[in-house]
Amino acid sequence: MRTIKIWSLAVVILILLFPLLLPAQKSTPESAYLALTNATLIDPAREMRQTNITVLIRDERIIAVSPDGEQVVPDDAHVIDLEGRYLIPGLIDSHTHLSNLFRQARGSPLPFDPSRETLYAELERMLYSGIVATRDMAGDARIFGKAVYNILSGERNGPDVHFAAVMGGRHFMTTDPRIAWASPGYPAGQAPWLQMVEAGDDLPLKVARAAGTGASAIKFYIGVEVDLLKALTAEAHRQELKVWAHAVVFPNRPIDVVRAGVDVISHTCGLVWQDADLNPADFLEVTAENRPRIDPDQIDPDNPEMTALFEEMVRRGTVFDATLWAHSRPGGSVAGCTPELAIALVSAAHQAGVTIAAGTDFYTPEDEDYPALHLELERLVDSGVMTPNEALIAATANGARALDREEDYGTIEPGKLASLVVLDEDPTKDIRALRSVVSVVKRGEIYLRTDYGSLSDVDTGAK
């Protein structure tokens, strides 16, 4: 009898405690339908600006966008009235290095101490600031894979993470210190996400190993000669991976990288090699530490060489991930490329019709409420390179194009992921209105900005 009573008491206690054992719930109620009504919808890439709009969402997808009253809203839908507020597509940061936040190389300081919790705190800051997806450009795929799982399973909050597996030449893969800290447990250049490539390699196997990490693309770094660059690009495309690269992949000039068929090139200051009075073929053994410097006075953004590069990019549809703030902020010059030159190069590319995506390649300090993408967009506008509307396109539709996920992100249309941002202010009038986030809808889930705790409040556990 006593045993039965003890078990009965245990069951009662378990029932009472069970709700406390469940993971924290999202702000979205249980209904499969969410209706955002009375919104001022701004869809920059579609040149749409309409008031009194209803966006109807079922589960994680948009199923209708229509004037208020024209769409039947199910009785059990969760309805949110957005009167006086602005609804835009979710933002995309096209250039991050998230695993730096988990394990950072000595001598490359971040604005805060790295740890596992720093990584997830930054992902949360990105999401609550309107960033619904990111393109991560290099690091430890095991960290990425765990983050992807934790976010999609609802265990952590953050944007969708799409990452690259890196390929580079022997010298880079065996001498650059970042290789070791991004692939502990593997010989240099042998991890599936950080592979050394040389002529004569089994290219289908190399690409298949990269694909097996869950990567969306391969990324070329340093020391891949042009014939190998072309062959690997073709093989990656055959295996349905995208190809991302630095603007200059030594020993190749930017136009050779573009002609190899890569889908996206990164970094404004890499463009200087197109017009430099130097031969990149002299630099097969270049690393991040010994990149040669260029006299910025010898670089002309309007030089016929640069014009030919931009024309080739437009012809091929190559996306340009500019990372302008990283190259034009104080102390941000790269290999002699001054802030003024960086701005001039991005401006020339934009005027030539090159598709520019907004990427960052850096992080704001932990005590700042908003992440780096907001500074990137503000620099694009403040420097006169883009209008606010054009900057929004760079961070939405062009970001989706860089990811090759235009079916999911970039615009507000039926069939796309319900990943949207609600703002108090109009970002087409002032790009800084992107800092007026009220809430973010990501895959149909609502994240209220008022629920966000700043990165500086997180106990990272760093020593």
Q: Which residue range forms the structural domain that includes residue 80?
A: 33-89+423-451
Under 8 Å between Cβ of 396 and 41: no
Q: Are 181 and 266 contained in the same domain?
A: yes
Say if strands 131-136 and 160-168 run parallel, antiparallel, or are unpaired: parallel
Q: Are 168 and 301 contained in the same domain?
A: yes
pLDDT of residue 275: 82
Instruction: Please check whether residue 313 lies inside any domain of the structure.
Output: yes
In this prediction, what percent of the chain has a pLDDT beyond 90? 70
pLDDT of residue 291: 63
Instruction: Please check whether residue 416 lies inside any domain of the structure.
Output: no
Under 8 Å between Cβ of 419 and 127: no
Distance CA 345, CA 385 (A): 10
**CATH assignment of the domain containing 37:** 2.30.40.10
Instruction: Please check whether residue 43 lies inside any domain of the structure.
Output: yes
Q: Are 267 and 243 contained in the same domain?
A: yes
CA 362-368-374 angle, to 5 degrees, is: 55
Distance CA 444, CA 152 (A): 12
Distance CA 68, CA 50 (A): 11
- Using the predicted structure, report yes or no on whether residue 333 has a pLDDT greater than 50: yes
Under 8 Å between Cβ of 147 and 171: no
Q: Are 120 and 187 contained in the same domain?
A: yes
Per-residue pLDDT band at 187 (split at 50, 70, 90): very high
Tokens of 179: 């290789």
Tokens of 419: 């990943």
Per-residue pLDDT of 373-405, as tens digits, reads 999 999 999 999 999 999 999 999 999 999 999
- Using the predicted structure, report yes or no on whether residue 274 has a pLDDT greater than 70: yes
Instruction: Please check whether residue 15 lies inside any domain of the structure.
Output: no
- Using the predicted structure, report yes or no on whether residue 462 has a pLDDT greater than 60: no
Q: Are 206 and 137 contained in the same domain?
A: yes
CA 217-219-222 angle, to 5 degrees, is: 170
Q: Are 140 and 207 contained in the same domain?
A: yes
Q: Are 148 and 260 contained in the same domain?
A: yes
Per-residue pLDDT of 309-320, as tens digits, reads 999 999 999 999
Per-residue pLDDT band at 234 (split at 50, 70, 90): very high
Decide: helix, strand or coil at residue 287.
coil
Q: Are 329 and 318 contained in the same domain?
A: yes
Distance CA 225, CA 198 (A): 9
pLDDT of residue 433: 98
pLDDT of residue 289: 63
Q: Are 440 and 358 contained in the same domain?
A: no
Under 8 Å between Cβ of 265 and 321: yes
Instruction: Please check whether residue 459 lies inside any domain of the structure.
Output: no
Arithmetic mean of pLDDT, 59-67: 97
Cβ burial 219-253 (10 Å sphere, 16+ → b, else e): bbbbbbbbebbbbbbebbeeeebbbbbbbbbbbbb
Instruction: Please check whether residue 4 lies inside any domain of the structure.
Output: no
Per-residue pLDDT of 159-172, as tens digits, reads 999 999 999 999 99
Arithmetic mean of pLDDT, 399-413: 98
In this prediction, what percent of the chain has a pLDDT beyond 70? 84
Q: Give the global pTM.
A: 0.90
Arithmetic mean of pLDDT, 238-256: 95
Instruction: Please check whether residue 261 lies inside any domain of the structure.
Output: yes
Q: Are 58 and 112 contained in the same domain?
A: no
pLDDT of residue 99: 83
Instruction: Please check whether residue 375 lies inside any domain of the structure.
Output: yes
Q: Are 341 and 232 contained in the same domain?
A: yes
- In order of 276, 411, 440, 444, 445, the CA distances from 420 in angstroms are 42, 9, 6, 9, 10
pLDDT of residue 287: 62
Tally of domains in the chain: 2
Q: Are 184 and 74 contained in the same domain?
A: no
Under 8 Å between Cβ of 313 and 353: no
Per-residue pLDDT of 124-170, as tens digits, reads 999 999 999 999 999 999 998 999 999 999 999 999 999 999 999 99
Per-residue pLDDT band at 296 (split at 50, 70, 90): confident
**CATH assignment of the domain containing 405:** 3.20.20.140
